[in-house]
Amino acid sequence: MADISSNFLGIKSPNPFWLASAPPTDKEINVTRAFEAGWGGVVWKTLGEDPPVVNVNGPRYSTLMSQDRRVIGLNNIELITDRPLMQNLEEIRRVKRAWPDRAMIVSLMVPCVEESWKRILPMVEDVGADGIELNFGCPHGMSERGMGAAVGQVPEYIQMVTEWCKHYSKMPVIVKLTPNITDVRLAARAAKRGGADAVSLINTINSIMGVDLESMVMHPSTGGWGSHGGYCGPAVKPIALNMVGEIARDAETAGLPISGIGGITTWRDAAEYIALGCGTVQVCTAAMVYGFKIVEDMCDGLSNFMDAHGYKTIDDFRGKAVPTVKDWKQLNLKHIDKAVIDQDSCIQCGRCHVVCEDTSHQAIFYKKGENGERKFEINEAECVGCNLCVSICPVPDTISMRTLAVGEVDARTGITVTGEYGNWTTHPNNPQCLTPAEA
């Protein structure tokens, strides 16, 4: 059996699945239920200074559903904890004592004033927290008060606050990054310069879920007015994975520990984040959609995956996919793929044909037999290997891509595959083409 325990910045947990700082981690009762269900750790919902913030008494959440009514996105306009600081601290102390083997990270957001951080850090340390997470990412409500995303969008502020935390506390510092930013690497570099032990990302994305067309009111609304909320869930996973990958492969931040957040619903999602360099993963939406029990399926799946691939610990495959993330200009222009339709499992829906015909390369033949039987076949003379048909086919594994072997001729271009590597930087069409000597 694989060992799925994690040691992140010296913080040990029986598995890498932490609950992200969010409504599920706001109270002792919830966190206790989470630990009973088997979660490896939690990031306690963000603490702030008293008096506590006040939430709206109306809809705070709203979801985007796919056609089969599965939640693929969740938006929220919650703030940081709306309970008194001391109450939260007492509960954190109790829960950590009752569950010493679980990770207890405390999320913090106080004004951008040294005094505020100096005051709160010893209190958190005193209750036995394993580490802190700086919430520089909350996109709504708090940023309007000069905290959250407002800080996270200014690298100098990130560095300054991180430095304060490292100065006034011995706890490991994780900086949570906002995705509402042009280049996440700048924020990660600033965190590292400030002495951060790790970054966690992504926080939520600014979003409006919709508009009620009957009343012409944005949705959801609090008594007729709404505000943008933070978006998370499966739909944001690709955005988060990209940002994680960018930080993992950036020369300045390579090796900086990362806690991955964004749409993790299954063991597979978690394994992908780990493969891109994450030491732990944080989950919120999946728990808010299905309840805490899902962690069992996540642990079981991760463990079976690791057994199947001979990985004994998480570190055995952590970051294994990072070297495969490159700039576009590095991709091999001499590699050729063609789509293949498995006729045995094709259900003849014709969607591949129409999207290729309408929006791509007219590379899928539609043949009607004498008795009306339908057949869809790839026309390799037109197929550019764009993967659209593979991506939209409703039947698993029916359309796939095959790579042309060395010596095969590309029916579209007439070029014979040589197996050589050549990218845009050396391509004759590139006005800034490097000579082989320069390349």
Partner 1 sequence: MESTANRACGVHAARLNLVEYAVNFSDSHAPLTKPQALIEAERCYYCYDAPCATACPTSIDIPSFIQRIAQGNDRGAARAILEANPLGGMCARVCPTEVLCEQACVRNTNEDKPVEIGALQRYATDALFDNPGAPLFTRSASTGKRIAVVGAGPAGLACAHGLAMRGNDVVLFDAHPKLGGLNEYGLATYKTTNGFAQKEIDWLLSIGGISVRCNQRLGRDMTVDSLLAGYDAVFLGLGLSGVNAIGIAEPQADGLRNAVDFIAELRQAGSFSDIPVGRRVVVIGGGMTAVDAAVQATKLGAEDVTIVYRRGASAMSASTVEQRWAQTHGVKIKHWSAPKEILSENGKVSGVRFAMTTQRADGGITETDEQFTINADMVLKAIGQTYTADHAGGKIELKGGRIATDEDGHTSVARVWAGGDCRVGGRDLTVEAVEHGKVAAQSIHAALNAA
Asked if 395 interacts with partner 1 (CB under 8 A), we say yes
Among 290, 332, 421, 434, binds partner 1 (CB under 8 A): 290
Asked if 113 interacts with partner 1 (CB under 8 A), we say no
Q: Pick the catalytic residue: 112, 138, 386, 389?
A: 138
Asked if 68 interacts with partner 1 (CB under 8 A), we say yes
Among 150, 199, 288, 294, binds partner 1 (CB under 8 A): 294
Q: Find the binding residues for partner 1 in span 408-427 (CB under 8 A).
A: none
The residue among 124 and 294 lying less far from partner 1, judged by its C-beta, is: 294
Asked if 391 interacts with partner 1 (CB under 8 A), we say no
From 116-124, 137-145, 204-212, 260-268, span contacting partner 1 (CB under 8 A)? 260-268
SS (HEC) of 38-94:
CCCEEEEEEECCCCCCCCCCCCCEEEEECCCCCEEEEEECCCCCCCCHHHHHHHHHH
Asked if 326 interacts with partner 1 (CB under 8 A), we say no
φ/ψ of 360, rounded to 5, equals -130, -110
Token code pair at residue 109: 């957001």
CB 257 within 8 A of CB 197: yes
Asked if 317 interacts with partner 1 (CB under 8 A), we say no
CB of 305 to partner 1, least distance (A): 8
138 is a catalytic site residue? yes
Among 10, 224, 310, 396, binds partner 1 (CB under 8 A): 396
Among 50, 115, 126, 297, binds partner 1 (CB under 8 A): 297
Among 55, 266, 387, 426, binds partner 1 (CB under 8 A): 266
The residue among 49 and 316 lying less far from partner 1, judged by its C-beta, is: 316
Where would I find the H helices in 310-439?
351-359, 388-392
The residue among 55 and 266 lying less far from partner 1, judged by its C-beta, is: 266
Report CA 196 to chain centroid distance, whole Å.
20
Residue 388's CB is within 10 A of a number of other CB atoms, namely: 19
The residue among 297 and 327 lying less far from partner 1, judged by its C-beta, is: 297
The residue among 97 and 268 lying less far from partner 1, judged by its C-beta, is: 268
- DSSP 3-state percent helix, strand, coil across the chain (nearest 5): 35, 20, 45
* Separation in Å, CA 103 to CA 128, 215, 258, 284, 293: 11, 46, 15, 16, 18
The beta strand positions in 255-326, using DSSP E, are 258-261, 278-283
From 210-218, 313-321, 393-401, 410-418, span contacting partner 1 (CB under 8 A)? 393-401
Distance spanning both ends of the chain, measured CA to CA: 47
From 48-56, 378-386, 396-404, 413-421, span contacting partner 1 (CB under 8 A)? 396-404
CB 45 within 8 A of CB 81: yes
Token code pair at residue 287: 């728990």
The residue among 80 and 270 lying less far from partner 1, judged by its C-beta, is: 270
CB of 59 to partner 1, least distance (A): 22
Amino acid at site 433: C
The C-alpha atoms of residue 436 and residue 439 are separated, in whole angstroms, by: 5
Where would I find the H helices in 199-266?
237-249
Token code pair at residue 332: 């091999």
Active-site residues: which are they?
A: 138
Which chain residues interact with partner 1 by CB under 8 A? 1, 68, 70, 266-268, 290-291, 293-294, 296-297, 300-301, 304-305, 307-308, 345, 395-398
